Chain A
């Protein structure tokens, strides 16, 4: 019989060096050829050896959808669960087992539609899980209905006259839930993905990373206007902590806050470089990060990328452990016989 504590005890031997191959499972990958999910998978598999963690201590949990097949392809522990519930299942696992690295992978339908409730609650609690939200703005696995991130008026099989829904902006949602780490990256830039995922991993608390992901079958080119190499300079705004927010081939454009507190795009030449907003991902108040998230409502406008917010806040699983430890210290380890005699008793 093996005690749980033997498995959770931290292994003090050196973490073995690994390569991408060590993190890849033997299962054939079954996404459509050309799907953006492939490059995200590669980015994750390539990043893992750099994190200095053990495969057996790494778990990927997913819900349902194309993205949710992700765990099958990682040579780690993994669970492909049910639609929308992965943040809840992952929360339970992370609270029970703070010794593990728990990742959650899901699409925009999984995370923001059927699972929206679990997502926001996991974020507000700040459970130590790393959520990768593959946003392709469409339902892929059910073959092409509009999703909660599809643009208004989108014509799909279930909206032949155009979708009536106002979409969610995942970054705004996460910031509204006061997530302690919120970032965005895209499937055309492996380096940026790896750097962003690694930042999420290093963060102590819940992390949400939105990944713009192309579904080349049902929503091809949804992000072309911003992520195509030729468009990137003008359309992607790289957020760097402590630096003024600038973009454009010559860094000729920038972001500033107007009098109402909204983030607005400006020409640096017009306003002067000192008027530009200096990005502070550690600001406790999420308002400015929220303003940044509102800069682009569809991926056809200049869109911020990178870490919107990374703040220190009590992490849930550690707090939960602390309560258990404190109870053991104050009351001593559980004495079953004493518990059964803890209400008034009498002798017969």
Chain B
């Protein structure tokens, strides 16, 4: 595959670059970032992305509230975050410049669509003077490009209306950036064909704009901005670029496949979880049933009903939905049926920040039900690992007949990274056992079925309707251990409460031990969970390569904790725990192990950057 516009001339080699595309919600910045990412992935770079968009589908045009941005770091070596300060900011309008210029590194490059810098837009963004003229951007290299004009110009004879032509300007920006960083063009051209196929004028306009942007770089004496980020040396294998919600969806499909059992998703649309519903609804040929319920409560209810019928019942939501599902989760705990509740966390409380990330539902996952109602918690830590976290959640739910909470967040859900596709033969089997025989004998010597007779793991049988001779009734009322008959006996309630707790505690014997990464002889250990993994890993790598000693433990199982966690943490003078909440894991760990965890918190709807954590850890190192 060759293209006449294949980059020529000397491109300077750089190890990585962080690009941030910012524009109005209607400017197609998510798409532009996605395309830049895909081309880079196919080129072989390591990368990580951070889509950052408003909750409104179309916030007032040209305003700060309407700015939608997409940050991506591409590199020739392994990376774990979308980068700290962008090196390049593409600002499609004044609002985008104003909202994001503060993130840019000093000396960084700003590429602006100068056509958008007219009075009305400047006013809407709150500028009194035009920043392109008042010297306020002196610390940066500013490249002014008439993207709208040039796009309209190349599209004018292609049969698109001028308004539609203007909408292709994001492809102009993408073309320009593709030239600057020597991205291959074919993936984008092919994508345009596939996406807009049938609407030939639009295909032509987008391609023309893309080529024009590319040519602009080549011809407009931007040669000092011509770079090359070579492919990263990653482990051998076949890779794909995947975001957390897609990986999680595929993990659920894989888990059901490994269990040879149908999957049932009950879900109600909610940001940022809806994409899992969208994805799973495409895969009915895997024996997947998706049910878009009338509300969050019905969604989990239907999933529980399906589990009762022998399917793997799943419900996907975000924090507000978990709040609504609490009573049904309690029922699932009482019924001791498998169920996976997936919480793609977002900023709270209440509606909070629907499109921004936060990890503040850990306490709700742990304790957010009435009564003593323990349930296992599994947390994903990077986009592709959402795949394995989903399999693990299903494994625990099915094996231990319990609802399991799987925590992800908005950053993992939408962020993508290259993923070495696993060999499906290495995925764990998930054996499913339905009861088929009576398990007890009555006084008359006849076989009878006791629904709450337990095995060595304290797990009761999964006897599903349709099984002859095992008819039985279960319910939310307290039941007698063994027979499952309704029981109000004080001793029995205490016994059942203890069993429900012991059953979950015992799962600790069946999960991976906590692993220590870095220096076992360090005096400081960083304890993390969830999506902070990337930033913690980045920060500890930097500090360790600068000669500091640091250890990192990252938890994937938050209830129960891995059995060696207490002992591991006890070996350090200081344990610090960065979280996107006000210290929820810190409190759990303190309560469990009496370790004086130092909490670091951030509540800005944004993930940590490695730089932020680097300086926080450095403070701790300097005592």
Contacts and interface: CB of A to CB of B under 8 A. Distances in A.
A11 B327 CA distance: 36
B287 A344 contact: no
A344 B42 contact: yes
Contacts of A78: 472-475
Nearest to A74: B473
B468 A56 contact: yes
B445 interface: no
Contact of B241 (A8, A56, A331, A343): A343
Interface string B297-323: 111011111101111010000000000
B572 interface: no
B483 to A, nearest CB: 10
A94 B302 CA distance: 9
Nearest to A340: B421
Interface string B264-300: 1010000000000000000111111101011101110
Nearest to B313: A92
B21 interface: no
A118 B234 contact: no
A308 B454 CA distance: 48
Interface string A61-84: 100100000011011111111100
Nearest to B236: A348
Would you call the interface of chain B mostly helix, strand, loop, or mixed? mixed
A82 B476 CA distance: 7
Contacts of B525: none
Q: Chain A CB within 10 Å — which of B234, B302, B432, B469 has the most?
A: B302
Contact of B433 (A1, A91, A95, A320): A1
Q: Chain A CB within 10 Å — which of B331, B470, B485 has the most?
A: B331
Contacts of A208: none
A270 interface: no
B346 to A, nearest CB: 24
Interface string A292-330: 000000000000000000000000000010011011101
A121 B253 contact: no
Contacts of B246: 343
A334 B286 contact: yes
Given A79-B473, A80-B475, A348 B466 contact: no
B232 to A, nearest CB: 8
Interface stretch (A96-104, A135-143, A162-170): A96-104
Interface string B229-252: 001011111111110001000100
A292 B434 CA distance: 48
B254 interface: yes
B287 A334 contact: yes
A55 B468 CA distance: 8
Contact of A92 (B284, B301, B466): B301
B78 to A, nearest CB: 12
A7 B464 contact: yes
Contact of B328 (A11, A85, A93, A100): A85
A348 B434 contact: no
Given A81-B475, A340-B421, A344-B187, A96 B306 contact: yes
Contacts of B472: 77-78
B471 A77 contact: yes
B228 to A, nearest CB: 18
A249 to B, nearest CB: 44
A97 B421 contact: no
Given A55-B471, A96-B264, A348-B234, A327 B284 contact: yes
Given A331-B285, A334-B286, A96 B298 contact: no
B539 interface: no
Given A1-B432, A332-B285, A341-B421, A79 B475 contact: yes
A334 B475 contact: no
Size bracket, chain B contacts: 35 or more
B468 A95 contact: no
A324 B266 CA distance: 16
B8 interface: no
B328 A82 contact: yes
B261 interface: yes
A51 to B, nearest CB: 16
B474 A117 contact: no
Contact of B466 (A56, A339, A341): A56
A81 B236 contact: no
Size bracket, chain A contacts: 35 or more
Given A339-B253, A345-B421, A346-B239, A91 B289 contact: no
A92 B266 contact: yes
B309 A100 contact: yes
B260 interface: yes
Given A4-B261, A346-B239, A348-B44, A95 B289 contact: yes
Contacts of B467: 7, 56
A258 interface: no
A88 B465 contact: no
A55 B298 CA distance: 27
A112 to B, nearest CB: 15
B301 A99 contact: no
A123 to B, nearest CB: 11
A25 interface: yes
Contacts of B43: 346
B466 A99 contact: yes
Interface in A3-45: 3-4, 7-8, 11, 25, 27
Contacts of A160: none
Interface in A211-254: none
A344 B241 contact: yes
Nearest to A57: B466
B244 to A, nearest CB: 14
B286 to A, nearest CB: 3
Contacts of A90: 305
B38 interface: yes
B289 A96 contact: yes
B418 to A, nearest CB: 8
B499 interface: no
Interface string A266-292: 000000000000000000000000000
B404 interface: no
Contacts of B287: 324, 328, 334
Given A76-B471, A91-B298, A341-B421, A348 B239 contact: yes
A96 B42 contact: no
Contact of B308 (A79, A121, A333, A344): A79
A333 B285 contact: yes
Q: Chain B CB within 10 Å — which of A91, A92, A348 has the most?
A: A92
A334 B258 CA distance: 12
8 contacts: A11-B468, A55-B471, A72-B473, A117-B298, A331-B285, A336-B254, A339-B250, A348-B233
Given A72-B473, A336-B286, 4 more contacts: A7-B466, A78-B475, A100-B465, A346-B238
Interface of B: 38, 41-44, 187, 231, 233-242, 246, 250, 253-254, 257, 260-262, 264, 266, 283-289, 291, 293-295, 297-299, 301-306, 308-311, 313, 327-328, 330-331, 335, 420-422, 424, 431-434, 436, 464-477, 485-486
Of all A-B residue pairs in the complex, the 6 with the closest CB atoms, nearest first, are: A80-B475, A92-B305, A92-B302, A334-B286, A88-B301, A88-B298
